[in-house]
């Protein structure tokens, strides 16, 4: 076995959605950095998350000239969390590095991450110390979200630490063992734990294209994170209901006493309607919070796979496509059980036929 083959393999997982403009700059920046790291070998697992531009074609061109590059083409856009899950499932390395293709997370940190991993770190996460390249409202919303999430959840997420990180194989295997279909990866990274080391850096502007993460998507992403790791919102509405019940009891007692002492004049229609509308709005908000959790239960109960793979592309001269060997990455156990149940009667019938033929 050659010395190169004995080196540990590190998988670089890159999710991409409509990143045609950023691909050339990403590989032009990243490949020389990987070549300079002599202590490990690298593979690059690119996940095409339903791109509508020529992202896949550009990736195939890169893979045709570099045997380290593998491409996983998903059947549609499943979202970044599903694309990261696909990359983690496909990665074969003893360590996995998650990185975006827009170069806002600098590939120049990869050698330092690998060095700390070789020194014994199980997770090496990159923390953004300066986000001035992001819009002001986005920075304020992110700071508020981390504060709210860490206050509500038992699992604390490090502030300004995104997906850019290196994870040891045992961490990757722990993530793969989690059964969730609706995945909030930042929370799952924090939930599995393990020893984590932080590398700080200054966030850079995008190298090309524009962000595909709209404000509405960020809002839904924030709700997903809170409902995935906290039941405090449900408990809060229990307390609000108790508070309103107590206030109603006190106010009812006040009305009874006032009526007994001063009579019952007919007035206050406007105030009554205002109170009813206010209480009705509070009730609808509470129903909405319950609906968020019921929606999560509904999606999880269907047990659909997190993603589907159309084709896998490997580094070959003709860049030929290989059909996905396993379409459903998370098959249903009861499906296999049903197959076994249907196979057993067939086998019994076949055995009876054989006995009859012998007689």
Q: Mean pLDDT by 10-residue block, N- to C-terminus, for the chain (359 residues)?
A: 68 90 89 90 91 88 86 90 91 92 88 91 86 68 74 76 89 88 83 86 66 64 72 78 77 74 64 74 81 81 86 63 40 38 42 38
- Burial code of 95-110, b = ≥16 C-beta within 10 A, e = fewer? bbbbbbbbbbbbbebb
C-alpha span between 243 and 163 (Å, rounded)? 40
CA 220 to each of CA 165, 215, 292, 343, 348: distance values in angstroms, whole numbers, following the listed order: 24, 9, 11, 45, 53
Which residues touch 1 (CB under 8 Å, ≥6 apart)?
Answer: none
pLDDT at 258: 73
Residue 47, domain member (yes or no): yes
Q: Indicate left, alpha or beta for 263 from its phi (over 0: left) and psi (-120 to 50: alpha).
A: left
Domain ranges, residue 119: 8-135+155-211
pLDDT at 331: 35
Indicate the residue among 183, 211, 239 that finishes a domain.
Answer: 211
C-alpha span between 292 and 124 (Å, rounded)? 33
SS3 74: strand
Residues 20 and 169 in one domain: yes
CA 37 to each of CA 21, 30, 34, 338: distance values in angstroms, whole numbers, following the listed order: 27, 11, 5, 50
For residues 314 and 322, is the Cβ–Cβ distance under 8 A? yes
For residues 158 and 127, is the Cβ–Cβ distance under 8 A? yes
Secondary structure in 3-state letters for 166-208 = EEEHHHHHHHHCCCCCCCCHHHHHHHHCCCEEEEEEECCCCCC
Q: Indicate left, alpha or beta for 194 from its phi (over 0: left) and psi (-120 to 50: alpha).
A: left
pLDDT at 153: 73
Which residues touch 313 (CB under 8 Å, ≥6 apart)?
Answer: 59, 60, 63, 70, 71, 72, 73, 319, 320, 321, 322
Residue 256, domain member (yes or no): no
pLDDT at 263: 66
Partners of 166 in the β-ladder: 97, 124
Which residues touch 315 (CB under 8 Å, ≥6 apart)?
Answer: 63, 64, 65, 66, 67, 68, 69, 70
Q: Return the closest-CA partner of residue 53 out of 77, 81, 29.
A: 77
Residues 198 and 63 in one domain: yes
Q: Return the closest-CA partner of residue 70 out of 48, 45, 95, 47.
A: 45
pLDDT at 221: 67
Residue 245, domain member (yes or no): no
pLDDT at 250: 78
Residue 141, domain member (yes or no): no
Residue-level length of the chain: 359
- The alpha carbons of the chain give a radius of gyration, in whole angstroms, of 28
Residue 278, domain member (yes or no): no
Indicate the residue among 163, 190, 211 that finishes a domain.
Answer: 211
C-alpha span between 186 and 269 (Å, rounded)? 51
Residue 287, domain member (yes or no): no
Q: What is the CATH number of the domain that holds 89?
A: 3.90.550.10
Residues 206 and 340 in one domain: no
For residues 87 and 14, is the Cβ–Cβ distance under 8 A? yes
Residue 115, domain member (yes or no): yes
pLDDT at 171: 92
Angle, helices 169-176 vs 185-192, to 10°: value is: 120
pLDDT at 42: 92
Residue 86, domain member (yes or no): yes
Upper half-sphere CA count for residue 102 (Cβ side, 13 Å): 16
Note every long-range contact of 28-34, with CB atoms under 8 Å and residues 24 or more positions apart, other chains counting: 29/103, 29/107, 29/207, 30/107, 30/110, 31/66, 33/107, 33/108, 33/110, 33/111, 34/68, 34/107, 34/110
Q: How many domains does the chain have?
A: 2
């Amino acid at each position: 076995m050659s010395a190169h083959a004995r080196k540990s393999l590190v998988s670089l997982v890159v999710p991409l959605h409509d990143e045609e403009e950023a691909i050339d700059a990403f590989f032009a920046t990243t490949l020389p950095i990987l070549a300079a790291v002599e202590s490990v070998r690298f593979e690059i697992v690119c996940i095409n998350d339903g791109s509508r531009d020529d992202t896949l074609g550009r990736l195939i061109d890169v893979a045709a000239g570099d045997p380290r590059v593998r491409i996983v083409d998903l059947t549609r856009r499943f979202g970044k969390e599903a694309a990261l899950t696909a990359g983690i499932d496909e990665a074969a390395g003893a360590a996995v590095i998650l990185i975006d293709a827009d170069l806002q997370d600098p590939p120049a940190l990869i050698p330092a991450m690998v060095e700390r991993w070789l020194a014994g770190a199980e997770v090496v996460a990159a923390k953004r110390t300066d986000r001035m390249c992001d819009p002001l409202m986005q920075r304020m919303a992110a700071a508020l979200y981390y504060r709210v999430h860490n206050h509500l959840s038992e699992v604390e997420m490090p502030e300004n630490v995104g997906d850019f990180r290196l994870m040891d194989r045992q961490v990757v295997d722990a993530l793969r063992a989690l059964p969730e279909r609706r995945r909030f990866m930042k929370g799952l990274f924090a939930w599995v734990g393990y020893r984590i080391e932080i590398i700080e850096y200054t966030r850079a502007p995008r190298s090309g294209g524009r962000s595909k993460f709209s404000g509405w998507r960020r809002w839904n992403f924030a709700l997903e994170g809170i409902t995935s790791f906290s039941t405090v919102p449900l408990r809060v509405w229990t307390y609000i209901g108790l508070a309103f019940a107590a206030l109603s009891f006190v106010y009812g007692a006040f009305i009874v006493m006032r009526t007994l002492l001063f009579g019952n004049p007919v007035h206050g229609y406007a105030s009554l309607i205002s109170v009813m509308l206010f209480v009705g709005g509070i009730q609808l908000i509470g129903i909405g919070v319950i609906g968020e959790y019921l929606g999560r239960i509904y999606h999880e109960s269907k047990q659909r796979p997190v993603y589907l793979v159309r084709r896998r592309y490997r580094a070959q001269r003709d860049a030929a496509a290989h059909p996905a060997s396993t379409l459903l990455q998370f098959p249903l156990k009861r499906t296999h059980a049903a197959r076994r149940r249907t196979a057993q009667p067939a086998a019994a019938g076949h055995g009876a036929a054989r006995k009859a033929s012998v007689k």
